[in-house]
Structure formats: C-alpha cells, structure tokens
Structure 1
Amino acid sequence: MRKPALNDEILLKIEKPARYIGGEVNSVMKDKEQVDIRFAMCFPDVYEIGMSHLGIQILYDMFNRRDDVWCERVYSPWTDLDKVMREEKIPLFALESQDPVREFDFLGITIQYEMCYTNILQVLDLSGIPLDAEERTWEDPIVIGGGPCTYNPEPLAEFFDLFYIGEGETVYDRLFDVYKEVRARGGSRQEFLEAAAEIEGIYVPSFYETTYHEDGTIRSFDPVNPHAKPVVHKQVVMEMQDTTYPEKPVVPFIKVTQDRVVLEIMRGCIRGCRFCQAGMLYRPTRERDVEVLKDYAYKMLKNTGHEEISLSSLSSSDYSELKELVTFLIEEFKDKGINISLPSLRIDAFSLDVMGKVQDIRKSSLTFAPEAGSQRMRNVINKGLTEEMILDGAGQAFEGGWNKVKLYFMLGLPTETEEDMRAIPELADKIARRYYEIPKDQRNGKCQVTTSTSFFIPKPFTPFQWAKMYTNEEYIGKAAVVKRGFQDQLNRKSLKYHWHDAEVTVLEGVMARGDRKVGRVIREAYRLGCLYDSWSDLFDNDKWMQAFENTGIDIGFYNLRERSLDEVFPWDFIDIGVTKPFLKREWERAMKGEVTPNCRMQCSGCGVAKWKGGVCVEGKN
C-alpha cells in the first residue's frame, strides 16, 4: 500500500490537489522491488501543461512495456505547494508511487521551451539533487534532458548528466541496458557516463570543454574524455510503423490544456519556413500508415473515455492520406458525440469542407498564419503563401458561413522595414473587405478579424540562426507602428490587435542561442526567486535583469549582433541531418528574397536524404 506524500491537511489548503495524488486511469503501477530501473519522467511545468504533452505519453508507455523498468511522472509543483514543501521539508515525489524523486535511478526532464529553465532548477532543488552535475553521486538519479531545447543544451550543461539528442524511441533501450550492466558489476558513476557517451545520440556535457576568443565568441568546443565523440548525431525513427504508440494514455482527473486523444499522423514538415526550428529539427517528413491510425483512434477513445480526437503534426494538410483519415473519423465518431479537432490545416476547399462538418461554424473561428504582412517578407521567410492565396482562402471561408478569423504574424524578422510592419493591418483590412463583398443577406452577422503578433526569435538550426534581435524598447516600437496602422484602416471596427510580451522575447533569445556562460544567469535568476517564467502573471523581468547584472552577462552580446557566417555556434557539435552549408544557402536566399520550393516539389539538398526514408524517397523505386 503506497503512502501519500502529502497529508490531507496540505491537500485541502492547496489549489487543485488532484495535480499531486496520482492514481489516474491508465497510470501504471508496478512493484518497485521487481524492477531494475526506476525512471521519473518530468515535465517542468504545472500538471495541466505536462499532462497535455504527447512525447511524455509515448515514452511513458514505451518504458513501462519493459518488465525491468517502472516509469513514473513528476511535474513542477505550483507556487502554493512549492512554498509548503520548502517549509515542511517535503521532497519532490513521483505521482504513481509517491516516492521521493531522489530515490529513482533516472530523472528524465523534457525541455520544451526556454522559459521553463528556472523550473528545472526548482525540480532539482526540491528533489534534494545537487544543481551541479559534477557534485552528484550514486545517491542521486542520473539527470537526463530531452526535447527540442536540447538542440542547444549549453545554457543548461552544468545541471545535466546527459542529454538525449533526437527522438526517444531509438536508443533508450540501449542506455537502460548499459546502466544495468554498469550497476551489476559495481561500476562508478563516471564509468556509466563514459559508457553512455559511446551510444549515438547521447551527449555528456562534462566531457567537453569550450575555449573563447577575446570578443566572447567560441574559439573551440572539444571532447576532453576519450569516450566522448566530437559530433553527436540526432537519433531518428525512420519506420514510423515500427514504433510504439500509447493505446492507453493516462487520463487526468482534472481538466488539462489538451483534454483529448491525440493521433500523431506524421513527423516533420515539407515546407521549409526559414524561421521554424521544428521544421528543420524533425526532417525528414515521415507519415504514419492510415490503417494503423484508424486502429489507434478506436482503441484510444475506448480506453480513455475522451470526447475529442485531435490530429497532431506540423502541417496536417501535407499528410497524403488526410482525406481518407478525416472521412473515416467523421463517419465513425461524429454520431457518437466525439469532436474532431484539426489543427495545422491550410485553408483550402477540402479543409473548409471538413471543418464545416466537424465544427459549429457560428461559434468557431478560422486561423491563418501568414507570419508576415507583405509579399516581400513572406518570400524572405519562405512562407510559400501569396496574398491572393490568403484572400482566396478567406473568401471561401466567408462564403462557407464563417465570420471570425484569427491571423498570426511575427515582428522583428530579418530585413523588416516599417512598410512591412504597416502591411500587417493592411492585410487584415483586405480580409475584412473580402467579407463585406458578400451580399448582405448571405452574411453571417458582422465580421471579426483578430490579429496577433509575436516577436521573432532566431533559433538554432534554422537559416535565421545568424540574425540579430532587438531591445525591449525597439520591439514595443514595432508593435506601436502596427497598432497605429490598425487605427488607420477602413474596417477598424471589425479588426482587433494583440501583441506578445517583448520582455520575455528578449530573455528567450538569450536562452535559445546562449552558451555555457548563460547557465550562471539561470542559476542567479532562480536564486532571486524566478519561477514559471512562461506565465505572464508570475514572470518578473526586474529579477531577471538583476540576475544579468549580478553575473556580468551582457544581453546585447547574445541578441543585438548579427553573427558572421564562420562563427562557431554552441550547438555546432550536434548533427541534425540538415547541414550548415544548406542553412547558409537558405540565409543568403532569404537576404535576396528568393523562395525555395517545398520538399515534394523539389529536393533542396538539405542533407537528411542520407537516412534514405520518408519524403526523401517518396515515389522513388
């Protein structure tokens, strides 16, 4: 019988106690005496966010299929419980067994976005695990990081024993077997790390050393342990049919962000948008078999009781069997009260027809992501959308009964001019005008066009990784230009405008392209009380600025300079398949406003064809 980590008195005085008690439907319970490896899988954010993450559900299912492994879940305690745990000296615990995380063999942390970095330190701190990896012993778990932010792991290097570079289904089994072998023969922690470093895709940061030029840029980044490789290769699943997928995902007790069954229909994207990190990281595009997906849909809905099913991918419209899959889902489940969610669709005749069947048109809005207002800027970012296509899609939607549209744009893109900024409200106004071209008796009430702008952040392994950023004040100035532009539009009563926080953008930029020195700022910000930095009501920019001042780290060095094409980046030792010469070519094409065709139209020689699979071999014998 397991003993709850929190007593009733504590549970009654904190918000949403169901976040911490475990025991959800489909959660896995094992006898801890009968397994060799205990793995605590952590999402360093609140339960509702972490429970919505597909990657953790996949790994949780995969690990627990092994008889010798018990994988449990752990999330960041919300601020109320954080305070109680520190006061009462309660160690952070896993949900299933309620045992302290420090008793586990592994603590696996998925790192999905830069603004969760202080939460990672919270998880280590509350677990009683030394923040510095070099201070840990066999009394502590092996701390391993995975997820998109590990493609520049350097700001977090001193806090992690290992990073897993790539897709989780590939080499974890080997890592577990190596761990068991080292522990069975009484090997040291160092011996395990050395054996792990021999596995493709595993990066051990303590085995590498960085030297710097006088100007602060990197001179060299080299292994200092014979077991460490000069290049760490991303791990990729090429046969999507051969991977495990959770037929019985864990069902939360409380409402979470994504309260639905999620069907991953493909990985990767053919589009090649130059700002998009996921589009580069997850190449090549690989599809799941439509018959397998139909089977998963049945089983997952039956095993969870969820009333919604969502298709997951970076660009669902590019899935070659989309029509067959969606038609099947509508016919099978629409009359059973199951909602069908179709994110990441391009607005074309088929998509609108499908959405008309699965949505209440009067209540729902359509989302367009032109990303840039002017055609020149859309060519720079390789968006592959013309104004004609955007207005045509909006027109078809309005004629189909929709009257609400959401538009997403970015400000601060490379080569942006004031004219490009003013083109954003002008495009929104043209879309509203398109609505009012419909005869009045055929319209569905008034039109509402809601526009949001975020500030562009250059990410590693994108053609824009060389780009400069701006100061907080400059970003606010850009949003002000757009806001004034909206006030000048003919249909301004039909238009709404929102913009994202510039302060967070500046910080995210430092984290995204930072080197090991940035770890000092993260540690200091955490010491000053920063936590849940991606939550606007908890984000404290003053404390972050104080942390930069206290550590002598210059934001401008990371954000306000355009990198030279020959600069050594902190992430250059990672091979993601997409080559640096290709990214340079795309950067140069961006500067000329040249469009690169998508992968199905023409191979652009990015490098991932070396895996001989997915879209790279479609239609070839």
Structure 2
Amino acid sequence: MNVLSQIEPLLLQVQKPAQYIGGEVGSIVKEIQNVDVRFAFCFPDTYEIGMSHLGMKILYSLINSRENFWCERVFAPWTDFEALMREHQIPLYALESLDPVQEFDFVGFTLQYELAYTNILNMLDLAGIPLYAKDRGEALAPMVIAGGPCVCNPEPLADFFDLFVLGEGEEVELELMDLYLAMKKSGATRQEFLRAAAQIPGIYVPSLYKVSYHPDGTIDAVTPEEGIPATIQKRVVDDLDKVFYPRQFVVPFMEVVHDRVVEEVLRGCIRGCRFCQAGFLYRPFREKSPETINRQCRTLCDNTGYQEVSMSSLSTSDHSRLEETLTQLLPYTESHRINLTLPSLRVDNFSKELMEQIQSVRKSSLTFAPEAGTQRLRDVINKNVTEEEMLRTASIAFAGGYTNVKLYFMMGLPTETLDDVAGIVRLAEKIIDCFFETPNRPKGKMVQISISCATFVPKPFTPFQFEPQVEQEELLKRQEHLLSCIQPRHRKKIKVSWHTYEISRLEAVLARGDRRLSTVIEKAWRSGSKFDSWSECFHYEIWEQAMSECGLDPAFYANRIRAYDEVFPWDHLDYLVDRAFFVRENQKAHDAKTTPHCRSACAGCGINRKLGRNCF
C-alpha cells in the first residue's frame, strides 16, 4: 500500500517537505516481486540528521547489493508532519517505495544517542507495530532490531526490541538476513527464529535472558535460557581495505547537516582517553591504506557530484600514513575544486607540513579538545596533550592564517576542582597571547576563542563507568566560577557556552540504566516526550514524573559511585576490552597517572589477544 496519494495534498503544509518524498539521486528502487527480504533502516531523528549518518549509508548500499534484499530509509517525521499523519491516519512509511513500515520483514533502528529513545517508541507507534516485543505474536515479521553504539547497553530498551546487533554490522547483518530468509521459507515462528539468531556471534536476544536484582536495586545476575550463550561478543571487521564500502551515496534534495562525501579512514583509537566511550567501543585500531582511501574518495565524488570530502574517524591525524594519503588525494581534489576537510586532528601531531597540505583547500576555525583546563586533570582523563603542544599548534595555525579557535572541555570530571575550572580560562588567555606573539599572524584581524563546556556523562565500557555524575548545584557553582575568571579585557575575545544539565543527567541515567527503565521511557513518551535531544522539545519534568511514578530515582543511575565488583546491566555483553583493564585505568586516574597510547606501549586492554591479532 503506497501512501503517495495520501501525503501529496499535505506536503505544502509542513516545513521542508522534500524530506518526506524520496526519489533522490542515488536512492535504490527495486521490483517488489524480485525481493525476498525487506529491511526498513530507521533513523530515530530527522531526515537532515539521519542523512548525515555514515552507518546508514554503508548498510543501505550493502544490503541493496543483494538482488533479493531491499533496504529502504525511514526517518522520524518532525512534529508538524507527524500531526498530519495522525490526523489523516497515514502510517510511518519508507522513502523508496512509500510503503508502510509495518509491511517490512525487518524494522532496524540505529541507536546513536540515548535521547532518541522516545522517538523509537513514537516511530513504532506511527508504524502500527506493538511497542513491546512480547506483544508481537508468533508471526515472523516485522522483526524489530537495533545496532549502533548505544547497543553496548541496550537494557533500557530491552523490552521493546526483538534482538540487538553488537559491534560492526557489515558481515553479521547479511548473516542474520540469510538466516531469516531460510526460516521464512520453512515457515518458522518468531520464537524459533530468535533462538536460532541468538546462536549467531554478535546477536543478542534480550527476551532469552532473565535479570534478577538485589534489595538495594543493583543487579544480582543476568541468566540466559538453556542453550543460549551466557555472553555475547561484539562483531569486528578485520580488514578495512577489503570490507564493503559504498560507491554511491543518496544525494538529498535539501540541505542536511553533513552534506558531503564521507570517507572513513580508520576505525578505533590508540589514545585511551578515560571518558571516551567510542575510543573503547570501536577498538581495535585499523587503518585503510592510502590507495583505498584515494580510490573510494574519487569514486564517491564522481558518482555523487559532491564538492566536499570529509575524512571520518575518531582521530584522523593518528593515521600512520596520513601525509602520504594527502599527497595522493590532493592533486585530484585541487584539480576538481573539491574541498577536503580533516576533522578530529590531534594537537600533538599537527605539523606545519600538514597545515600547508590542507590550508589550500580548508580554512576555517581551528578546533582543540583539551577536555580539561589543567595538566593534572588532563592526566586524570589520560588526554596525553600538554599545554605546550596546544600553544605550538596554535602558533602554527595563526601563522597559517587562522584566527578562530574552538576549545572543547568537560566539566564535572572525576577529581575536578575549582582550580581546574579556572585553568580553562587560563589556557584560553594563553592562546590569545600566543596570537599576538606570532609575528606573521593575520593582520587587521582579531583572535576569537569559543569555549564549549559539556557536562561529563559516565558511560559503559570506559574506565569512568564507575564514577558519579556531578550534582546540578555543584555544576552551577563551577560554571559561575569559570565566568568570574575571565578578565574584563578578554571578555570580547572569549565566548563561553555549555549544555543544559538536565539533558546530560538524562543521558547518564539512560546510558547506565537497566531494564526497569523501559516503563519509564514508555511513560515519558506517552506524556509527550520526543526529540529530547532538541532543546525546544526537551522537558525534563516529564522524565522526573515518569521516574517517580515507576518508583525509581535518577540519582541511583547517574550520581552514585559504583563498586568495581558490582554487576552492571551490560556485563553479559562483551566488547572485548577486559574489565580488569577498566579498573586499573580508573585507579590510575585517581592517582593522576597516564597510560601511553597504543603505539608507544601496550596497556593490556585485551582486545587483540581475544581476536588473535598483534598489537603495534
């Protein structure tokens, strides 16, 4: 049932109607009679955000590379179009066929951010799919699944999903769909398929595990049913030069957040920053060769017509052959007038030569992420960046024509003091002084420092998963102290911003939560909560009320210290980094001792040992 006739009369009543019609260049439409398995890839946020997501681009092309599989895109409708959909009884639909999502075999969500959880329920409801997995009967379809970084602790959503995919999806996704097709042909029930899927490495079926609790609310045990694995190990792609990568992206009709070619140059991170979940979730560290990067960039630019390429990674300048890569790629980008951007550059390996290579095609603000204002606190978080390195890099950049510097910090880090907070301003002022001390700086221009302070959120699978989040009253005290430290003569040169505390607190609650939060999420959604990551839509009082009605305390999840031997909601999920390593790193943090990055010395995280790989 195509919904085109229903939506056409409504499109001019909403903002950005192009996001609801499909038909973009690069989108893939197949003859339904030739398709055996249909996959609805659902991004639980708006089109302009979801169309920027690299994971969707990869899996969309991968699944569609199989003639008998069809992957289509689905995004959360903004509130104006949702209201019209509900008024006119239009179900949630996919963009390629404009068919209702309920008709698909798989309804797959990517979990990128905890504050999108209510959007998932809203999309399921719009699709006419029962919210709870237990209410979907024995029919095989639709099978509601999820992947992405938040799957490292999916327990707050466990009651809503049939299964989760842990780790990297390029190989396991097709394995899962092949199994589904075989069991679909044999007439298998939903439960039969789920038990079989649970045997695929990397597949977690939450309904096959029982959680018990201690009287104090902490977890006693997570117990699998007979014949089901006790732990589920994430999937890892071994060779990035051989793994599937798209030759074409869907090119949107409207502007999206990252409207460009995105080339993934490496996965993982060698650094080991103790607050950074991505740095541990995406281990081990793997690079693409310069030849592969060059070939894929050229192919994507030629096929999409994009005039900008972004090299994507957690730390682009840690690529061991970056300058060689740029030497190969720059003649093409320069001759075709393609802008090349290199986000995630490290200040400790930012060289004059690197700046000279990129400045001809990229001139914008310089971005540092010191994360902490003093060397002591940077040692606590294992940032392994010194003030001297930052000032040296700033000097190189100022000499190269840069005048704007963005500095990213976190407040509320473990062991943080008011002196650490004041150190944020001291560092900004030293960078200002560095600008005026640079002889060949841009003349007639003023330096501008933008300080952004996020509230620290303790996350699973990090050395700080044991730590409490700072209370709001204390955070406000530190924010006021920060502002008071800015000298009057620098107030026009330094701009400060920070995130809303309540948003960070909810993120902490959901990040380290357990299955009891499923009812909280449902209550919050039924009370009107959605698009919680959008400040104009966020209402923390709804969540407070939902927690209270469920007899749960946000402080239990966000603001308490967790013992090293506590059973965490995610302990049955194996992301291959040893828990003993996280404990050691946490202890070193409290002693303000650093750990060298992976190329300097192996810290014994355990992941390469488990995978049978060699460390550097």
What is the distance in 2 between the residues matched to 1:269 and 1:497?
A: 29
What is the distance in 1 between the residues matched to 2:400 and 2:77?
A: 45
Specify the alignment match of 1:526 in structure 2.
525
Specify the alignment match of 2:542 in structure 1.
543
Q: How many angstroms does 1:516 deviate by?
A: 0.5
Instruction: State how 1:272-291 maps to structure 2 within 5 Å.
Output: 272-291=272-291
Structure 1 letter corresponding to 2:302: K
What is the distance in 1 between the residues matched to 2:474 and 2:134?
A: 40
Q: Does 2:7 match 1:7?
A: yes
Specify the alignment match of 1:491 in structure 2.
490
Determine helix, strand or coil for the equivalent of 2:91.
Answer: coil
Q: Does 2:160 match 1:150?
A: no
Kept in 2: contact 1:410–1:454 (CA 8 A):
yes
What is the distance in 1 between the residues matched to 2:37 and 2:441?
A: 67
Q: Residues 2 and 135 from structure 1, CA distance in 2 versus in 1: closer, same or farther, beyond 3 angstroms?
A: closer
Determine helix, strand or coil for the equivalent of 1:409.
Answer: strand
TM-score, normalised via structure 2 length: 0.97
- Counterpart of 2:362 (choices 346, 359, 362) is 359
Determine helix, strand or coil for the equivalent of 1:22.
Answer: coil
What is the distance in 2 between the residues matched to 1:543 and 1:273?
A: 34
Q: How many angstroms does 1:337 deviate by?
A: 2.1
Question: What is the CA deviation profile of residues 332-370 of structure 1, one whole-angstrom value per residue up to 9, with x for unaligned ones?
Answer: 12232211111011232233223322224xxx2100110
Q: How many angstroms does 1:499 deviate by?
A: 1.1
Kept in 1: contact 2:435–2:447 (CA 8 A):
yes
What is the distance in 2 between the residues matched to 1:149 and 1:313?
A: 18
What is the distance in 2 between the residues matched to 1:302 and 1:518?
A: 47
Question: What is the CA deviation profile of residues 405-459 of structure 1, one whole-angstrom value per residue up to 9, with x for unaligned ones?
Answer: 1100000000111111111111111111111223598645111111110001011
Q: How many angstroms does 1:239 deviate by?
A: 1.3
Residue-pair matches, total: 612
Kept in 2: contact 1:5–1:98 (CA 8 A):
no
Question: What is the CA deviation profile of residues 468-524 of structure 1, one whole-angstrom value per residue up to 9, with x for unaligned ones?
Answer: 0123333222222211122x3653332111111111001000000000011111111
Specify the alignment match of 2:431 in structure 1.
431
Q: Residues 493 and 613 from structure 1, CA distance in 2 versus in 1: closer, same or farther, beyond 3 angstroms?
A: farther
What is the distance in 2 between the residues matched to 1:507 and 1:151?
A: 17
Q: Residues 572 and 444 from structure 1, CA distance in 2 versus in 1: closer, same or farther, beyond 3 angstroms?
A: farther
What is the distance in 2 between the residues matched to 1:399 and 1:610?
A: 45
Question: What is the CA deviation profile of residues 550-592 of structure 1, one whole-angstrom value per residue up to 9, with x for unaligned ones?
Answer: 2222011111210011100000111111110011010011110
TM-score, normalised via structure 1 length: 0.96
Kept in 2: contact 1:329–1:340 (CA 8 A):
no
Kept in 2: contact 1:238–1:611 (CA 8 A):
no
Q: Does 2:272 match 1:269?
A: no
Specify the alignment match of 1:479 in structure 2.
479
Kept in 2: contact 1:401–1:444 (CA 8 A):
no
What is the distance in 2 between the residues matched to 1:484 and 1:136?
A: 57
Question: What is the CA deviation profile of residues 206-238 of structure 1, one whole-angstrom value per residue up to 9, with x for unaligned ones?
Answer: 111111111100011111x22421100000001
Specify the alignment match of 1:135 in structure 2.
135
Question: What is the CA deviation profile of residues 84-135 of structure 1, one whole-angstrom value per residue up to 9, with x for unaligned ones?
Answer: 1111111100000100000000001000000100000011000000001000
Specify the alignment match of 1:255 in structure 2.
255
Where does the alignment leave 5 or more consecutive residues of structure 1 unmatched? none
What is the distance in 1 between the residues matched to 2:300 and 2:318?
A: 24
Kept in 1: contact 2:117–2:521 (CA 8 A):
yes
Question: What is the CA deviation profile of residues 291-349 of structure 1, one whole-angstrom value per residue up to 9, with x for unaligned ones?
Answer: 12111111100110111001001000011121122223221122322111110112322
Q: How many angstroms does 1:177 deviate by?
A: 1.8
Question: What is the CA deviation profile of residues 11-44 of structure 1, one whole-angstrom value per residue up to 9, with x for unaligned ones?
Answer: 1111111111111111111111211100000110
Kept in 1: contact 2:265–2:293 (CA 8 A):
yes
What is the distance in 1 between the residues matched to 2:425 and 2:303?
A: 46
Determine helix, strand or coil for the equivalent of 1:572.
Answer: coil
Structure 2 letter corresponding to 1:109: F
> Would you identify which runs of 4 or more consecutive aligned residues in structure 1 move more than 4 Å?
439-442, 611-614
Determine helix, strand or coil for the equivalent of 1:216.
Answer: coil
Q: Residues 95 and 441 from structure 1, CA distance in 2 versus in 1: closer, same or farther, beyond 3 angstroms?
A: closer
Specify the alignment match of 1:161 in structure 2.
162
- More deviation, 414-423/174-183: 174-183
Specify the alignment match of 1:464 in structure 2.
464
Identity percentage of aligned residues: 50
What is the distance in 2 between the residues matched to 1:146 and 1:190?
A: 20
Specify the alignment match of 2:303 in structure 1.
303
What is the distance in 2 between the residues matched to 1:356 and 1:48?
A: 28
Structure 1 letter corresponding to 2:415: T
What is the distance in 1 between the residues matched to 2:5 and 2:112?
A: 27
Specify the alignment match of 1:37 in structure 2.
37
Where does the alignment leave 5 or more consecutive residues of structure 2 unmatched? none
Kept in 2: contact 1:429–1:492 (CA 8 A):
no
Q: Does 2:484 match 1:513?
A: no
- More deviation, 139-148/417-426: 139-148
Kept in 2: contact 1:284–1:613 (CA 8 A):
no
- Aligned Cα RMSD in Å? 1.6
Determine helix, strand or coil for the equivalent of 1:530.
Answer: coil
Determine helix, strand or coil for the equivalent of 2:329.
Answer: helix
Instruction: State how 1:231-246 maps to structure 2 within 5 Å.
Output: 231-246=231-246
Q: Residues 613 and 392 from structure 1, CA distance in 2 versus in 1: closer, same or farther, beyond 3 angstroms?
A: farther
What is the distance in 2 between the residues matched to 1:476 and 1:508?
A: 18
Question: What is the CA deviation profile of residues 50-91 of structure 1, one whole-angstrom value per residue up to 9, with x for unaligned ones?
Answer: 000000110011101112211111000110111111111111
Specify the alignment match of 1:174 in structure 2.
175
Kept in 1: contact 2:400–2:441 (CA 8 A):
no
